[in-house]
Amino acid sequence: MKMEGMRGSSIRRVLFMMFILSVMFAVSVNGRNFKRGRCDEVYVAEEGETLQTISVKCNSVRILDDNPQIMDTDDIGQGTVLLIRVL
């Protein structure tokens, strides 16, 4: 009888740890999406942003291809409107 109680307790601990790990994974995935994820199709650059930081933030590598009005990669300033291809 005592052995069955210990076995049940171990199973509960394992299930609890699996639950905690799954919650941690879900939170980390959501956190990553807030930092680096999809942006709206129209993006307005903020102060201090570059094409590279916007590309990483929006997970888009074709910003220059989609925005022919940008002649130079340094041609980004606060308020610059960019079209972002949604993949």
Give CB contacts under 8 A, 24+ apart, made by 60-65: 60/84, 60/85, 60/87
Same-domain pairing of 16 and 54: no
Whole-angstrom distance, CA of residue 70 vs CA of residue 39: 19
Whole-angstrom distance, CA of residue 20 vs CA of residue 81: 42
pLDDT in tens, 20-68: 777 666 655 444 444 446 788 999 999 999 999 998 998 888 898 999 9
Same-domain pairing of 49 and 66: yes
Residues of the domain holding 52: 38-87
Looking at residue 25, what is its pLDDT? 64
Is the pTM higher than 0.75? The answer reads: no
Same-domain pairing of 11 and 49: no
Total domains in the fold of the chain: 2
Same-domain pairing of 50 and 86: yes
Q: What kind and span of H or E run contains 20? A: helix 2-35
Same-domain pairing of 53 and 64: yes
Same-domain pairing of 29 and 58: no
Whole-angstrom distance, CA of residue 56 vs CA of residue 43: 13
Return the CATH number at 86.
3.10.350
